[in-house]
Chain A
Amino acid sequence: MSGGLKGRMAPLCSKVWHVIATLFAISVSASLVAAAETESFSNPAVEARLITAENGVGPDAASISAGLHLQLGEDWKTYWRSPGEVGLPPTIDWTGSENIAETDFLWPAPERFTAFGIENFGYHDEVVFPIRITLENPGAPARLEARVNLLTCSTVCVPQDFDLSLDLPRASGIDTDSATLISAFAARVPDEGGQSGIGIEAAHLDAERLALTITVRSDRPFEAPDIFPELGEGTAFGKPDIRLAQGGRLMWARLPVLAATPDLPDLRVTVTDTGRAATLQPAYAEVAPDPPFRIAASVPGLAELAWIAGIAFLGGLILNVMPCVLPVLSIKLSSAMKSGDQSPARIRAGFAVSAFGVLAFMWVLAAATLAARGLGLSVGWGLQFQNPVFLAVMIVVLVIFAANLFGLFEITLPSSWQTRMARAGGGQGYGGDFATGAFAAILATPCSAPFLGTAVAFALAGRAVDIAVIFTALGLGLAVPYLVVAAFPRLVERLPKPGRWMVVLKIVLGLALAATALWLFWVLAGVAGPDAAAWTGAFSLGGAALLALPRLSGRLRLSGAALSSVAAIVLAGYLSEANTPAASGATDWAGFDRAAIARHVSTGQTVFVDITADWCLTCKANKALVLDRDPVAARLREPGVIAMQADWTRPNETISRYLESFGRYGIPFNAVYGPGAPEGIVLPELLSSDAVLEALEQAGAGQVAAAR
Chain B
Amino acid sequence: MNRERRNALLLFSGLAAAYAAFRIAPGFGREELVLQDIEDPAGFRRLTAGQSSSGFDPFVGLEPQKNNDDLEAAKVRVRQNICAALYYDRPTTAGEVPVASFSDYYCPFCRVQTKRLAEMEARQEGEIRVSWHELPLLGETSTLAAKAALAARNQGAYPAFHERLMRSPFRATPEYLQALANDIGVDHARLVADMNSEEVLEDLENSAALARIFAFVGTPAMVIGRTVVQGEVSERTVQAIIKREREEGWGSVCRVA
A interface residue numbers (CB < 8 A to B): 43-45, 83-88, 115-116, 118, 120, 149, 151, 153-161, 233-236, 258-259, 261-262, 403, 406, 408, 514, 518, 521-522, 525-526, 530, 533-534, 537-538, 541, 545, 548, 550, 579-586, 588, 623-625, 628-630
Among A88, A538, A579, A588, the one with the most B-chain Cβ atoms within 10 Å of its Cβ is A88
Known: A86-B105, A154-B231, A259-B168. A116 touches B112 (CB 8 A): yes
Stretch at the interface among B86-94, B201-209, B214-222: B214-222
Point out the residue from B28, B176, B220 that lies within 8 Å of A156, measured CB to CB.
B220
Is the CB–CB distance between B22 and A159 below 8 Å? no
Contact partners of B27 in chain A: CB under 8 A = 526, 580, 582-583, 624, 628
Contact partners of A84 in chain B: CB under 8 A = 108
Is the CB–CB distance between B3 and A155 below 8 Å? no
Known: A88-B139, A408-B10, A526-B25. A158 touches B56 (CB 8 A): yes
Chain B interface residue bracket vs A: 35 or more
Among A149, A153, A154, A158, the one with the most B-chain Cβ atoms within 10 Å of its Cβ is A158
Is the CB–CB distance between A44 and B168 below 8 Å? no
Is the CB–CB distance between A518 and B18 below 8 Å? yes
Known: A522-B25, A583-B27, A586-B31. A87 touches B106 (CB 8 A): yes
Known: A161-B62, A408-B7, A583-B27. A518 touches B106 (CB 8 A): no
Is the CB–CB distance between A234 and B171 below 8 Å? yes
- Tell me the nearest residue of chain B to A122, going by C-beta: B108
User: Smallest distance from the beta carbon of B53 to chain A beta carbons, Å?
Assistant: 7
Whole-angstrom CA separation of A534 from B18 in the bound complex: 8
Is the CB–CB distance between A43 and B56 below 8 Å? yes
Whole-angstrom CA separation of A315 from B105 in the bound complex: 52
Q: Is the interface of A mostly helix, strand, loop or mixed?
A: mixed
- Tell me the nearest residue of chain A to B120, going by C-beta: A581
- Tell me the nearest residue of chain B to A541, going by C-beta: B14
Contact partners of B111 in chain A: CB under 8 A = 85-86, 118
Whole-angstrom CA separation of A623 from B25 in the bound complex: 11
Point out the residue from B26, B55, B109, B234 that lies within 8 Å of A526, measured CB to CB.
B26
Is the CB–CB distance between A259 and B11 below 8 Å? no
Among A406, A538, A588, the one with the most B-chain Cβ atoms within 10 Å of its Cβ is A588
Contact partners of A259 in chain B: CB under 8 A = 167-169
Tell me the residues in window 228-242 of chain B with beta carbons closer than 8 Å to chain A beta carbons: 230-236, 239
Contact partners of B55 in chain A: CB under 8 A = 43-44
Point out the residue from A154, A236, A533, A583 that lies within 8 Å of B169, measured CB to CB.
A236
With A157-B138, A514-B17 known, 7 other A-B pairs at CB within 8 A are A44-B54, A156-B221, A157-B109, A157-B137, A518-B18, A541-B15, A628-B26
- Tell me the nearest residue of chain B to A75, going by C-beta: B51
Whole-angstrom CA separation of A225 from B60 in the bound complex: 37
A-B contact count (CB 8 A): 177
Is the CB–CB distance between A157 and B168 below 8 Å? no
B interface residue numbers (CB < 8 A to A): 3, 7, 10-11, 14-15, 17-18, 21-22, 24-29, 31, 50-57, 60-62, 104-112, 115-116, 123, 137-139, 167-169, 171, 175-176, 179, 217-221, 230-236, 239
Known: A157-B220, A581-B239. A87 touches B108 (CB 8 A): yes
Whole-angstrom CA separation of A408 from B5 in the bound complex: 11
- Tell me the nearest residue of chain A to B11, going by C-beta: A545
Contact partners of A518 in chain B: CB under 8 A = 17-18, 21
- Tell me the nearest residue of chain B to A73, going by C-beta: B55
- Tell me the nearest residue of chain A to B171, going by C-beta: A234
Whole-angstrom CA separation of A476 from B21 in the bound complex: 34
Whole-angstrom CA separation of A537 from B18 in the bound complex: 7
Is the CB–CB distance between A623 and B60 below 8 Å? no
Contact partners of B50 in chain A: CB under 8 A = 155
- Tell me the nearest residue of chain A to B167, going by C-beta: A259
11 cross-chain CB contacts under 8 A: A115-B108, A115-B112, A155-B231, A158-B60, A233-B171, A234-B169, A403-B10, A537-B18, A582-B27, A582-B28, A625-B24
Is the CB–CB distance between B233 and A623 below 8 Å? no
Contact partners of B234 in chain A: CB under 8 A = 584, 586, 588
Is the CB–CB distance between B25 and A530 below 8 Å? yes
User: Smallest distance from the beta carbon of B105 to chain A beta carbons, Å?
Assistant: 7
Known: A43-B57, A234-B168. A157 touches B26 (CB 8 A): no
Known: A153-B109, A541-B15. A44 touches B52 (CB 8 A): yes
